[in-house]
A = this chain, B = another copy of it.
Amino acid sequence: MQKRNATAAVIGAGDYIGAEIAKRFAAEGFTVFAGRRDGARLEPLVREIEASGGSIVARALDARKEEEITAFLNDADKHAPLEVCIFNIGANVNFVNFPILETTERVFRKVWEMACYSGFLAGRESARLMVPRGKGNIFFTGATASLRGGSGYAAFASAKFGLRAVAQSMARELGPKNIHVAHLIIDSGVDTAWVRERREKLWGKEALDNPDLLMPPAAVAASYWQLYQQPRSAWTFELEIRPFGEKW
């Protein structure tokens, strides 16, 4: 592995998608700055990346706090120029379906703070570091609910629609400044313990028979790597991915 003098920040470096993204960018030579709420849970990821010869700095990070986001990204950038920021919070959870009358204002606000507001902060603070340098990549993880407000998903879809708007506005403003802003839409369930459990509960064991209907976290990481590799003459803003057997 050839080390790069560059950092990739992964905000929302959870057990599945986020961890795979971190591993992929570490494997490509970036120093990864990985943040998640409960920093202690990043330990296995750190061990795995370091065992493969990769570099990672793990941090507890509450992405809803402006000063924490700013500090996290500044620290990354001090370590080595911040070249990539991937915002990945609230990506692999389609939350529980809430009828509108049971959606409390507390839930509505909290989902927005986690999945939209913190994305705005991460995007803006990355841009602040990247614009003067005239290059960079800011990627956001979206979901089916980024495009469709399904029954029972008012809170989650509202936050994901809102995040998509942030990404789109930033892409239009920052593209001409040589910063690639992209929005990856994962149009399927992701293969995590949580999703497996829930599918089994809803539809029985057979729902798990076909592994090809769930998106492996490593495939998401590979999609981000494809976005990163695009030349600036042919950038994609929105990349939608789904497993071959998914109904859409």
Contact = CB atoms under 8 A, between A and B. Distances in A.
Interface of A: 66, 99-101, 103, 105, 108-109, 112, 116-117, 120-121, 123-124, 127-128, 131, 145, 148-155, 157-176, 178, 180, 212, 215-216, 219-220, 222-223, 226, 229-248
Nearest to A237: B240
A116 to B, nearest CB: 7
A190 B216 CA distance: 35
A152 B131 contact: no
B127 A100 contact: yes
Contacts of A165: 145, 149, 153-154, 157-158, 160-162
B234 A219 contact: yes
A176 to B, nearest CB: 5
A222 B236 CA distance: 12
Contact of A116 (B66, B131, B158): B158
A172 B158 contact: no
Contact of A168 (B157, B159, B168): B157
Nearest to A238: B240
A36 B165 CA distance: 27
A62 to B, nearest CB: 14
A175 B216 CA distance: 17
User: Which of A124, A159, A169, A238 has its CB near the most chain B CB atoms (within 10 A)?
Assistant: A169
A101 B120 contact: no
Given A127-B101, A154-B169, A165-B149, A234 B245 contact: no
8 contacts: A100-B124, A120-B158, A149-B169, A152-B169, A157-B165, A161-B161, A222-B231, A234-B243
A175 B116 contact: no
Given A175-B244, A243-B235, A244-B233, A158 B151 contact: no
